[in-house]
């Protein structure tokens, strides 16, 4: 049955993650940065001084989201460069 083929897991989860990371390397970088910023923000939660907890959490969320958006933007620019402006593609277009 063809629908059973969709459910079979020939690739493991780790090999899928490695394959996706090779296709778009800035996604795992964004995920790791997000987790790092959140971990650092939670670590610094005790030493926030007299700043309200909600304000600390909002700033932490904005920094983490900014890192992810930056990584995605750099990834899009990199893929556009690779697709349209890389020397490999410009030489093949001239033939």
More confident residue, 30 or 87: 30
- What pLDDT is recorded for position 37? 93
Q: What average pLDDT does range 58-82 have in this prediction?
A: 91
Predicted local confidence at residue 1, as pLDDT: 46
22 CA to centre of own chain: 12
Which residues have a Cβ under 8 Å from the Cβ of 68 and sit 6 or more positions away? Answer: 30, 31, 33, 34
Establish if 46 belongs to a structural domain: yes
Number of domains in the chain: 1
- 36 in any annotated domain: yes
Q: What is the pTM of this model?
A: 0.67
Give the total residue count for the chain: 95
Tell whether the model's pLDDT for residue 77 goes beyond 80: yes
> Would you say residue 29 lies in a domain?
yes
């Amino acid at each position: 049955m063809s629908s059973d083929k969709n459910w079979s897991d020939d690739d493991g989860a780790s090999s899928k993650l490695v394959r996706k990371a090779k296709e778009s390397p800035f996604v795992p970088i964004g995920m790791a940065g997000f987790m790092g910023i959140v971990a650092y923000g939670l670590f610094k939660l005790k030493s926030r001084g007299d700043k309200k907890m909600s304000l600390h959490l909002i700033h932490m969320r904005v920094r983490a989201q900014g890192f992810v958006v930056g990584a995605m933007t750099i990834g899009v620019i990199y893929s556009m460069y690779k697709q349209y402006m890389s020397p490999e593609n410009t030489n093949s277009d001239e033939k």
